[in-house]
Structure 1
């Protein structure tokens, strides 16, 4: 699977697990909501810094955003 799409699926999974909206995640990660939306759809290539901010906001290790989607 394409790593960008995998990242997007994982971001969405962890965001929904936390019960937060894209807007809430965006604010917590210091990003625009549209950027989070693009990431979740797999249409945006995030920087390493953005990956780190998302992981902190989602309270997961950065590697968890790049691994196979949890069941």
Structure 2
């Protein structure tokens, strides 16, 4: 959601520039928009990293519990 919101804000800041708003207005809006977008990308990346770390942590436990089962 944060990435999508950031993209919408970037489009909004771009529209302000095209409509002839004062330079300060669209620059500030664009800076905030890019900050929101980058925060979204950062959150997404952190989520992927945490998921991979969790999967790597759980994998050895599953393998060791499976090796203790008697085989036919």
TM-score with structure 1 setting the length: 0.34
TM-score with structure 2 setting the length: 0.34
Q: Which of structures 1 and 2 has the bigger CA Rg? A: 2
Question: Would you tell me which structure has more helix in proportion to its own residues?
Answer: 2
Structure with the larger RCO, 1 or 2 (CA within 8 Å, 6+ apart): 1
